[in-house]
Amino acid sequence: MRILAILLASGLLWSLCGQTTRTIGRAELRDKIEGGWAGQMIGVSYGAPTEFRFRGQIIPPERLPAWKPEMISNSLDQDDLYVDMTFAKVLDDKGIRATSEDFGAMFKDAKYRLWHANLAARRALKRGVSATLSGTPKYNAHANDIDFQIESDFIGLMAPGLPQSANEIALRAGRVMNAGDGIIGGMFMSGMYAAAFFEKDARKVVEAGLAAIPASSPYAQLISDLLAWSKQHPDDWEKVWAMMNEKWDKREPCPEGALLPFNIDAKLNGGYVALGLLYGKGDFDRTLEVSTRAGQDSDCNPANAIGILGVMLGYKGIPEGYKSGIPAIADKKFNYTDFTFREIVASTEKRALALIEATGGKVAGDTITVAIEQPKALAVPLWDDYGSPAERVKAADPRFQWKGPWKEDRTTRVASEAGAEVTISFEGSGAILTGTYLPKGGTATVYLDGEVDRTVDVCSDESSNRNGEAVWHAFGLRNGKHTLRLVVDGKPGPGSDKTDVVVDGLIIFR
């Protein structure tokens, strides 16, 4: 009810119901698409030096970089953009009705480095998990992480005034690597982009994004809180930042961040995006400053915020000092993609026109008529009721019982011989056994409450180690006492010729 009241008070529902079509010139559409891609490039390049260096802290203004036009070249090697663009390529190749399986097939074979939900999804896909399941908490301990949120811009940029269509694409693409709030974050961003083509008021853009996501979701509740608090404190974003962190920075399930200052949760970082838009009020410098200084993922968040603002302003409206470095790299390929800046703009425009016509709009020469869609949330299964991280147990804790030839390596335990095992009992509704993914790792059999649960491996599927990852996890267990036992198989994992298994601790959920 609170969210509905916000939308009614803003007049958003009335305006969208009352306005069935809107026209936009082809040159203006292209300018706004160009502004959206340029905004992402500027935001991610500006925030890169501070990414995750300030966790649960506001970045002091003196720690912000001084912008130089040549900094924009950093964007050519940023996952925010190259993953975004490779997903867009799926729609170019398969059409705007591309399936989750189409997106998953591309992702499974992608050669770029990945992290968090993306990495977990690609590992699952390579092990035979369906693209409709690879983002679910059963297979992905990072299901609520930010990954799809930072890669969803391509959807909103091809959906001017079409938030329902954006949601449908977001569900098909987002479920590959995320679930619950992780998918909803991409829908929120797409909904704001869709609104930004025809709306100049940043607050109404945020409200449009809220209207496009399930009101019962924690994500929507955070954004609802933010909208209410920003009205109470219209000139004090730092106070609102503190209120948001106090309430919402407590349930990060990611194994790297659970009960630690690091937070890569979609909804908290999405709140920072909205914070920048609300307090930026359409001003480029202010939006960039606030969305960056909010901290945590402080390159991805301004990339989203300035991408959305770039659509609102159009490329022509972006201050010259920020975009002046783009022409020099406009014909260079973004790493791992088939696109230059000019090419991704042209590709997005082509997809936007196709979607406009597919949803009842018309393209007549230079005049485009969009059949405006009212924001409408799609049902997205949530998993936040599985419990919250309550305790981290380190490998040195006596509750771990180690048997066999385990070697102590700083904070971890490593074993390679068949029969080495570790057992721990815990009380809760879920757990993540953490350790290190290795380029060449082995397999282990995991038993839960005396029964074989599954075989796991610690292969990273990449060329480097990944610390603090989920060796095994389970959520939604009966809330009570459980016993977990891992037995090293002495066998190599996929693509490996070694048998090492690394464990460093347990995260308990209650």
pLDDT of residue 64: 97
Could you tell me if residue 182 is inside a domain?
yes
**Burial of 48 per CB tally in 10 Å (0-12, 13-18, 19+):** buried
**Using an 8 Å Cβ cutoff, are 452 and 445 in contact?**
yes
Angle (deg, nearest 10), helices 202-211 and 300-313? 110
Task: Count up the domains in the chain and report the number.
Answer: 2
Same domain, 395 and 362: no
**Using an 8 Å Cβ cutoff, are 469 and 255 in contact?**
yes
Could you tell me if residue 376 is inside a domain?
no
Same domain, 240 and 147: yes
Average pLDDT, 10 consecutive residues per value, the chain (510 residues):
52 51 98 98 98 98 97 97 97 98 96 96 98 98 98 98 98 98 98 98 98 98 98 98 96 94 98 98 98 98 98 98 98 97 98 98 97 97 91 97 95 97 98 98 98 98 95 97 98 98 98
* CA atoms of 227 and 449, how far apart (whole Å): 45
Could you tell me if residue 377 is inside a domain?
no
Same domain, 456 and 354: no
Picking from 371, 398, 427, the residue at the C-terminal end of a domain is: 371
pLDDT of residue 30: 98
Could you tell me if residue 26 is inside a domain?
yes
Residue 343's contacts (CB-CB under 8 Å, 6 or more residues apart) are: none
CATH number at residue 147: 1.10.4080.10
Same domain, 352 and 392: no
pLDDT of residue 3: 59
How would DSSP label each residue in 355-421? HHHHTT-EEETTEEEEEPPPP-PPP----GGG--EEEEEETTSTTSEEESS-EEETTEEEE-STT-E
CATH number at residue 405: 2.60.120.260
Phi, psi angle pair for 406, to nearest 5°: -85, 140
In the Cβ-directed half-sphere of 171, how many Cα atoms lie within 13 Å? 14
Boundaries of domain holding 425: 387-509
**Using an 8 Å Cβ cutoff, are 22 and 198 in contact?**
yes
pLDDT of residue 309: 99
* CA atoms of 78 and 84, how far apart (whole Å): 10
Could you tell me if residue 119 is inside a domain?
yes
Could you tell me if residue 378 is inside a domain?
no
Same domain, 24 and 148: yes
Could you tell me if residue 113 is inside a domain?
yes
